């Protein structure tokens, strides 16, 4: 179970032929209340898919009643026709649910940019009645229907005191901040209003999804939706809920990192001693995006010089000749000069920890990334679904 772990939710996932493989490609999550509330965060890419344009507007119209998600096509840069497809999709779902306002239905899409033609529309609209008929409070089929190149379903749950949180996510490439490329639906039966949900979701995203930078590429379709049903009748303290939500988001971010396309190492870049948290993130991100660093990790080469070269491109406060850099617990660079022999460092485990100590302040942050591998190049030079 995932999004149906909290009470007050039903979900379903079916195949409508968007994926050439015939695998499930259409999912629906419905919030049955009794006290529906919602919040959502969207990609910060200025090029935004039609579902983002729709959902961003719809989210203002009132608490979302449902989220429909398709894989097998991004419906991005598909013109007015594509936007109309999104609107018709929301209308179809609203009609099935007896909901008079289609703007209470959010839409998410993922897949190839430019995909969103008549066949795409027909398959989705034709599938909605069957999707609605499959809705169940004990559903386990939704998480698979939102996957693209993902190799595993990604779900997370947390239990509170009489309430719970459930979540599903997809994302395996184009993972970069301002949300990584991901679709996430999080549900809870806690009793919270939209403003509290919004605060908690923004805070949790900022330190989880926004610090996942697998390949530096920001998607046009990212959306994280949080739905609350209130079905538990319990209103947790906001900070308690926020902490649980952060745990869920962090777990999902780690699962997205672990399933990144073609990756052979999951790299946590921990930056300590920064002048501010923002600078810690900037430094971590500059290393996470450095192809030479990422290729070196693939080759099990603890190339600290490339780390320093990457830090040098930032505006963060630091003295290049005061920096320490450690790989998997071995300090290879001290005060900007070689320290322990690189032979002492073992990079063969998949999990890789890079610690950068700037000695410029007290702030810290960890950015998650992956290495640059042959498989990444292969998968992304051949990607077409």
Q: Which of 26, 38, 87 is nearest to 66 (CA)?
A: 38
Select from 131-139, 196-204, 239-247, 367-375 the region that touches a second copy (CB under 8 A).
Answer: 367-375
Closer residue to a second copy in complex, CB, 100/337: 337
How far is the C-alpha of 101 from the C-alpha of 84, rounded, in Å? 16
Closer residue to a second copy in complex, CB, 34/114: 114
Residue 220 makes contact with a second copy by CB under 8 A: yes
> What is the closest distance, in whole angstroms, from the C-beta atom of residue 20 to a second copy in the complex?
16
The reply to whether 181 sits in an annotated binding site is yes
Candidate residues 311, 354, 360, 367; the one interacting with a second copy per rule CB under 8 A: 311
Measured between alpha carbons, how far apart are the two ends of the chain, in Å? 27
How far is the C-alpha of 257 from the C-alpha of 251, rounded, in Å? 10
Structural contact between residues 40 and 196, judged by C-beta atoms closer than 8 angstroms: no
Residue 291 makes contact with a second copy by CB under 8 A: yes
Please tell me which residue in 85, 89, 181, 187 is annotated as part of the active site: 181
Q: What value does the CA radius of gyration of the chain take, rounded to a whole number of Å?
A: 21
Q: Name residues whose C-beta falls within 8 Å of residue 235's C-beta, 6 or more positions apart in sequence.
A: 190, 191, 192
How far is the C-alpha of 332 from the C-alpha of 302, rounded, in Å? 8
How far is the C-alpha of 253 from the C-alpha of 206, rounded, in Å? 11
Q: Please give the size of the binding site for a second copy, defined by CB under 8 A.
A: 60
Candidate residues 138, 239, 337, 343; the one interacting with a second copy per rule CB under 8 A: 337
Closer residue to a second copy in complex, CB, 243/383: 383
> Other CB atoms closer than 10 Å to residue 341's CB: what's the count?
9
Residue 295 makes contact with a second copy by CB under 8 A: yes
Site string for a second copy, 114-153 (x = CB under 8 A): x---------------------------------------
> Other CB atoms closer than 10 Å to residue 244's CB: what's the count?
21
> What is the closest distance, in whole angstroms, from the C-beta atom of residue 283 to a second copy in the complex?
11
Is 181 in the active site? yes
Residue 34 makes contact with a second copy by CB under 8 A: no
How far is the C-alpha of 116 from the C-alpha of 82, rounded, in Å? 6
Candidate residues 338, 349, 351, 362; the one interacting with a second copy per rule CB under 8 A: 338
Per the annotation, binding residues for substrate are 148, 170, 181, 261, 380, 385
């Amino acid at each position: 179970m995932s999004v149906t772990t909290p009470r007050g939710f039903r979900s379903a996932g079916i195949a409508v032929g968007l994926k050439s493989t015939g695998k499930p490609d259409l999912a629906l999550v419905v919030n049955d209340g009794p006290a529906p509330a919602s919040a959502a965060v969207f990609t910060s890419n200025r090029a935004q898919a039609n579902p983002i344009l729709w959902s961003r507007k719809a989210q203002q119209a009132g608490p979302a009643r449902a989220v429909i998600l398709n894989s097998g096509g991004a419906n991005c840069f598909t013109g007015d026709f594509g936007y109309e497809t999104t609107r018709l999709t929301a209308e179809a779902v609203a009609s099935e649910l007896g909901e008079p306002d289609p703007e209470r239905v959010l839409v998410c899409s993922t897949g190839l940019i430019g995909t969103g033609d008549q066949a795409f529309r027909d398959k989705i609209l034709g599938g909605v009645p069957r999707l609605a008929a499959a809705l169940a409070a004990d559903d386990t089929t939704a998480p698979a229907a939102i996957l693209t190149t993902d190799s595993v379903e990604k779900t997370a749950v947390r239990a509170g005191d009489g309430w719970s949180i459930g979540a599903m996510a997809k994302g395996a490439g184009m993972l970069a901040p301002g949300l990584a490329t991901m679709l996430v639906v999080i549900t809870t039966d806690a009793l919270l209003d939209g403003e509290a949900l919004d605060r908690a979701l923004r805070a949790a995203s900022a330190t989880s999804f926004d610090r996942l930078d697998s390949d530096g590429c920001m998607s046009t379709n990212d959306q994280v939706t949080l739905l609350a049903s209130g079905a538990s009748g319990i209103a947790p303290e906001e900070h308690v809920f926020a902490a649980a939500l952060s745990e869920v988001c962090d777990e999902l971010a780690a699962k997205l990192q672990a399933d990144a396309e073609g990756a052979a190492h999951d790299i946590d870049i921990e930056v300590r001693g920064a002048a501010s948290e923002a600078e810690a993130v900037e430094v971590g991100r500059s290393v996470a995006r450095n192809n030479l660093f990422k290729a070196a990790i693939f080759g099990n080469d603890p190339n600290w010089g490339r780390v320093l070269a990457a830090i040098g491109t930032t505006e963060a406060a630091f003295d290049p000749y005061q920096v320490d850099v450690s790989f998997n617990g071995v300090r290879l660079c001290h005060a900007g000069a070689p320290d322990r022999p690189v032979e002492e460092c073992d990079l063969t485990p998949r999990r890789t920890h890079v610690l950068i100590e700037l000695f410029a302040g007290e702030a810290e942050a960890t950015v998650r990334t992956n290495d640059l591998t042959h498989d990444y190049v292969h998968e992304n030079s051949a990607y077409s679904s």
